[in-house]
Amino acid sequence: MNMKLFLLLFFLTGTVAVNAQTYSISKRVNVFGDTIETYKDRSGKITAVITHSTDVFGSKIKRITDSNGKEMRSIKKNTDIFGDETIAISDGKGQS
């Protein structure tokens, strides 16, 4: 009985491990100083790209694009001269 239970748990664990999704992440920096994170699935297909950048006013911008290059979300953090932080989040349609 204990052996059957052990074998059942062993095969269930193996099945879950085989079906688990794994991703690889690569980071690079372009000539403008933007950090680009590329997420790929097991087959090497790009699933998402996240770009971290800073504009000339010091605002930090994070853009998330899907595998087709379409922007899914954009997040912009801005701090004014009084120290107040503003966060603007917009989806791929330009709505916030």
5-50: per-residue pLDDT in tens? 666 666 556 554 455 566 788 899 989 889 999 998 888 888 899 9
Handedness of CA 42, 46, 50, 51 (dihedral sign): positive
* Structural domain includes residue 6: no
32 is in which domain, residue-wise? 23-91
Total tally of structural domains belonging to the chain: 1
* Structural domain includes residue 76: yes
Q: How confident is the model at residue 29, as a pLDDT?
A: 92
* Structural domain includes residue 14: no
Q: How confident is the model at residue 76, as a pLDDT?
A: 92
Its pTM stands at 0.69
* Structural domain includes residue 29: yes
* Structural domain includes residue 46: yes
* Structural domain includes residue 17: no
Interatomic CA distance for residues 18 and 21, integer angstroms: 8
* Structural domain includes residue 10: no
51-79: per-residue pLDDT in tens? 999 988 889 999 999 888 888 899 999 98
Interatomic CA distance for residues 20 and 70, integer angstroms: 26
* Structural domain includes residue 4: no
